[in-house]
């Protein structure tokens, strides 16, 4: 019996640790991606090359892997893949495979920064003012509801990729480049936090949580962070996950400005820096295993030490030509 990880990307260490944890429960780990040049594939017990997300044969390829390799559940590390798997969830469940993804509605909200802004505003969560047009931006400037600097970023996209910090209207116009799918977002000047949490797929309760303050940030995540506890922060992400209807492994970015927490990005998947939480003793793998076996997890919140400093560093994976022979589906 196996767990399938689709689109593992560069998260080699996360695949490796999940493989180790799944193996202790008698489960194998299979990975699938669209290229031999995906580091995460090499951390699994076995890997397959499949069509890219969005291609017509992508889901059929995953279903075929599930049938032939006795797959129990599927996990993804890619934002775009979450919607694809959520749409195809009935097809996986029809062959007794559990897609560990959020609902399609929740996935679409998390994938679209303007829809997320509308949701957060409607549910009384503090967040960055987000504007969809230059005309509206000018009006908000005139009303003193927003000021420079601001961020211009894609409506759909991973984290800060494609974002540009702008200090005047010329910068904003240049960053938007005449595109209508670029948002203008308030700059939040404060401390930043990453929260990794697991919401039980049966009880719908948050059963594990880990928070760290970002000390050094790079595109795609935190380079250096320090573990911390704050009940107000835990309560915030618990309420957010409940009202959005999120389950499974999640990652939420939060800002603290003038003593108040503001919700930033919501990633309904394993975060790129989950390995930091794992290093501090937070283990989502047994929670996943319990859920796919129909067992409810009991809450065990904040079971780690404060003040642990975590530093990511680059590594090189060396693969010779004779070790790149993954099967294609």
Can you give the residue ranges of every domain in the chain? 2-102+316-328, 129-186, 189-311
Are the beta carbons of 7 and 77 closer than 8 angstroms?
yes
pLDDT for the residue numbered 308: 96
pLDDT for the residue numbered 323: 66
pLDDT for the residue numbered 316: 85
pLDDT for the residue numbered 20: 98
CA-CA distance, 151 to 144, in Å (whole number)? Answer: 17
What backbone torsions phi and psi does residue 22 show, to the nearest 5 degrees? -65, -35
Cβ atoms < 10 Å from Cβ of 269: 23
Q: Kindly give the pairing relationship between strand 182-186 and strand 130-131.
A: antiparallel
Are the beta carbons of 30 and 305 closer than 8 angstroms?
no
pLDDT for the residue numbered 312: 83
pLDDT for the residue numbered 222: 63
**Which among 226, 219, 240 is positioned nearest to 162, based on CA atoms?**
219
pLDDT for the residue numbered 217: 74
Q: State the architecture of 2-102+316-328 in CATH terms.
A: 3-Layer(aba) Sandwich (3.40)
pLDDT for the residue numbered 324: 64
Which ranges of 225-310 does DSSP label H, i.e. alpha helix?
Answer: 231-244, 274-279, 285-292
pLDDT for the residue numbered 223: 82
Low-confidence ranges of the chain (pLDDT < 70): 158-161, 218-222, 321-325, 327
Structure tokens given for 271: 């975060």
**Domain 129-186: CATH superfamily, name plus number:** ATP-grasp fold, A domain (3.30.1490.20)
Structure tokens given for 325: 């022979």
Multiple choice CATH, 189-311, 3.30.1360.70, 3.50.50.60, 3.30.470.20, 3.40.50.920: 3.30.470.20
pLDDT for the residue numbered 319: 82
């Amino acid at each position: 019996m196996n767990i399938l990880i689709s689109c593992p990307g560069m998260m080699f260490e996360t695949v490796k640790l999940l493989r180790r944890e799944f193996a202790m429960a008698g489960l194998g780990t299979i990975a699938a991606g669209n290229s031999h040049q995906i580091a995460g594939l090499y951390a699994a017990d076995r890997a397959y090359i499949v069509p890219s997300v969005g291609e017509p044969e992508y889901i059929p390829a995953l279903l075929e892997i599930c049938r032939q390799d006795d797959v129990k559940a599927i996990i993804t590390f890619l934002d775009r893949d979450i919607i694809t798997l959520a749409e195809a969830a009935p097809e996986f469940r029809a062959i007794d495979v559990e897609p560990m993804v959020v609902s399609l509605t929740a996935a679409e909200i998390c994938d679209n920064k303007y829809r997320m802004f509308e949701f957060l505003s409607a549910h009384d969560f503090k967040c960055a003012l987000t504007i969809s047009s230059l005309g509206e931006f000018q009006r908000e400037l005139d009303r003193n509801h927003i000021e420079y600097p601001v961020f211009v970023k894609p409506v759909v996209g991973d984290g800060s990729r494609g974002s540009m910090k702008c200090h005047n209207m010329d910068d904003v116009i240049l960053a938007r480049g005449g595109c209508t799918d670029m948002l203008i977002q308030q700059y939040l000047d404060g401390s930043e936090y990453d929260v990794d949490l697991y919401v039980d797929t049966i009880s719908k309760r948050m059963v594990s949580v880990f928070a760290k303050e970002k000390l050094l940030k790079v595109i795609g995540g935190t380079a250096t962070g320090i573990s911390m506890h704050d009940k107000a922060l835990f309560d915030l992400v618990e309420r957010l996950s409940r009202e959005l209807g999120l389950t499974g492994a999640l990652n939420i970015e939060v800002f603290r400005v003038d003593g108040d927490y503001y919700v930033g990005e919501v990633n309904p998947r394993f975060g790129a820096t989950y390995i930091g939480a794992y290093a501090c003793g937070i283990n989502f793998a047994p929670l996943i295993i319990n859920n796919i076996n129909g067992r409810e997890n009991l809450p065990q919140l904040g079971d780690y030490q404060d003040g642990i400093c975590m530093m990511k560093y680059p590594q090189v994976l060396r693969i010779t030509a004779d070790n790149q022979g993954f099967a294609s589906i």
